[in-house]
Amino acid sequence: MYSFEKTTARMGKKFNSNFKLKMNLRKGFTLIELLVVIAIIGILSSVVLASLNKAREKGADAAVKSNLANVRAQAELVYDDTIPNTYLNVCANPTVMNAKAAAEAAGGAVGICNNTATGWALSVQMKSQGLFGAGSLTDYWCVDGGGKSELNDNQLGAGVTAC
């Protein structure tokens, strides 16, 4: 029995050392495994990037709306500061011009500001298109002195002071 135990003990050591050798050779990934992982990452990143572009457009649209909402408050300050009360200087006011420029930068197009003694309106193109309807190519956000703040399919015309 003594020699049998010695032999099995030696075989066990040999088996363990061969097993460890095989395990040492198997560390890492195969080329195919790496390519599959890279392909999956590529597919996921394309989905995420497509979503990010839409989110950026929505963010730009929110910037246009926010800047034009600020114009409405500033226009009322201009009206109150002018004696007699008039909206004639609204489009020339530096704060209104800065807000209009920021909205234009966010929307990517030049806006139109019209004012008369009794009213004003400002319209800037939105970054996202097709919001107004299926056939709409360009959409504009418009605010005016009457309190309107709405999406329109057309840019303001010359001298128009209502959305």
The string of pLDDT tens digits covering residues 41-90 is 999 998 888 878 888 888 999 999 999 999 999 999 989 888 898 898 89
Tokens of 125: 């193109």
pTM of the model: 0.67
d(CA 89, CA 113): 11
Tokens of 48: 């995420």
Which percentage of the chain shows pLDDT scores above 70? Answer: 81
Which residue from 65, 74, 73 is spatially nearest to 124, judged by alpha carbons? 65
Angle (nearest 5°) at CA 162 between 104 and 57: 30
**What kind and span of H or E run contains 80?**
helix 31-81
Contact present, 88 and 116 (Cβ < 8 Å) = yes
Task: Kindly provide the b/e burial profile for residues 100-118, where b requires at least 16 CB atoms within 10 angstroms of the residue's own CB.
Answer: bebbbebbeeebbbbbeee
| Whole-number CA gyration radius for the chain | 34
Q: Is the pLDDT of residue 158 over 90?
A: no
Tokens of 150: 């709405």
Half-sphere CA count of 19, side-chain side, radius 13 A? 6
Q: Is the pLDDT of residue 9 over 60?
A: no
pLDDT at 56: 87
